[in-house]
Structures are given as C-alpha cells and as structure tokens.
Amino acid sequence: MQTKKLEQLLNQWLSPEIISDYCPNGLQLDSEKTIEKVVTGVSATQALIDSAIALKADAILVHHGYFWKSEPAQIVGMKYQRLKKLIKNDISLFAYHLPLDVHPEFGNNVQLAKLFELEVIDPVEGIKPKGILMQAETKSATALADFASLVERKLARKPLVISGGDFLINKVAICTGGGQSFIEHALAAGVDLFITGEVSEQTVHVATEMGIHFIAAGHHATERYGIKALGEYLAANTDIQVEFVDIDNPA
C-alpha cells in the first residue's frame, strides 16, 4: 500500500481532524516506499527504529511520534539521530496521539478498561476532547487491594496505589499516560477510583483529602494497548503485515 493511502485509511478510522493536538497526527515522515510491513509501538524511540530495521519494516506506527509543539524546531541531537536512521533505511513514520487516546474502539482508555475487565465504558460528559476521560463499572464491588493486584498482573508492573478511604470500588475513571491532572474531573464524575499513568506530588493529597482511590500504573504501561489494537485492526483489514514491539519503559 502507498504511504498516502495508508494515511488516508488510518485517518478514516481515527478522525484526527476533529481533535486539536500538540503534534501532527498521521504521516510524519514519508519515504514514499510501498508499505508491506508495519511495526507498531508506544514511542518512536531509537530502540523501536532499530527493531523496525531488524524486522525489515517499511513503516513505524506509534502513539508518541515527533514534532511536539513544545519542543525546539531544530533537528539536532537525539532528534537528528532518529530521523537520520529512519531516512537512511527508507522507513516512514505514522503517529496518532490524542485521536488514539480517545477512540471508542482502539483508544488507550477503552482498551485499558477492557484489560481491567470493566463494563459499561463511556466518556465522562463535558470533557474535551470527548473520551480523554472514560468511566466504567466493575463487575461487582471490589476492594482497592484486589483491584491493584489485577492491575499489577495485567500490566506486569507494580502500580503506585493511594487509598482514598475505606470504601469498595464500583465506578472507575481512566485517563492513560500523563493524565494525573484529571483527578479533579474524576472526582466530579463521582467515581471511586481514578487510574492514570503518572503521578504528581499534589495528586496524592487530592486522593487522600477528597476521598478517591488513585492508581498510577505507568505512562508506557497504560498506553501499550491502543496502538496494539490499532495494529491488529490494520492487519485484519488490509494485506499489510503488522508486528507490535514493546520496548519497556519503567516510567
């Protein structure tokens, strides 16, 4: 498949045009080489590029690509090395950031809720972009310690767990990645537990003083599942071969 054609297809599925984001979504680097094999991963790091080269991929598809609004525009250092390797090896780069967090099917939030066996998964109303904070229900009232061990088992990583008090969990809110500032919105939505990737110092105070359980399960660990699901959908619906490569990151 041609690079532009693949971008068109991914855009059709993810509708990046309806979301304002901090980076360009879609085709970020175009080698114009026909795509037969795609490597998916969370972040377009040097290690992922090396894996893509080893696997003879024609393109990389990630959640965290390049050209963030907050970063210097100069192509130097780490950025130069990454781009140089992609260009030298004729590998195209596709990235979808917020459109992949919020998507009702392959979104990071929805995929994580499913991984944690939650039900009735819906966007929290009134928060933009729609789906950036999802709410869902546990099958039955669950103790925090039991939910925390499910999270640890599913993500193969020990989460940070803060108790908001002595109550069971029926309703959960999720914002994957660096979503700790959404704890106030989770609280307003009336959930018992808020799960995100990262924690800030004040997140702990909000949890303990306002009475909401909190789990920080890792930025990388909570964002593996959207790109993986998108890659599986791509493989199932085209003749492109797709391989997910997990480059572990403790953060």
Residue 107 is a binding residue for Zn ion (CB under 5 A): no
The shares of helix, strand and coil residues in the chain, as percent rounded to the nearest 5, are 40, 25, 40
Q: Which stretch binds Zn ion (CB under 5 A): 75-83, 118-126, 161-169, 215-223?
A: 215-223
Q: Hey, what are 207's tokens? A: 């949890």
Write out the E strands in 36-79.
Answer: 37-43, 59-64
Using CB under 5 A, which of 26, 107, 177, 231 touches Zn ion? 177
Instruction: Classify residue 171 by its DSSP letter.
Output: E
Distance in Å, CB of 227 to Zn ion, minimum: 10
Q: Which stretch binds Zn ion (CB under 5 A): 14-22, 33-41, 112-120, 220-228?
A: 220-228
Q: Hey, what are 116's tokens? A: 């944690």
> Quick one: 164 or 179, whose CB is closer to Zn ion?
179
Q: Which stretch binds Zn ion (CB under 5 A): 14-22, 134-142, 210-218, 219-227?
A: 219-227
> Quick one: 22 or 80, whose CB is closer to Zn ion?
22
Q: Hey, what are 22's tokens? A: 């901090």
- Residue 54's alpha-carbon distances to 30, 67, 87, 90, 240, in angstroms, are 20, 25, 15, 13, 17
> Quick one: 7 or 223, whose CB is closer to Zn ion?
223
The residue with its CB nearest to Zn ion is: 177
In the three-class reduction of DSSP (H, G, I as helix; E, B as strand; rest coil), residue 176 is classed as coil
> Quick one: 241 or 249, whose CB is closer to Zn ion?
249
- Binding positions for Zn ion, rule: CB under 5 A: 177, 223
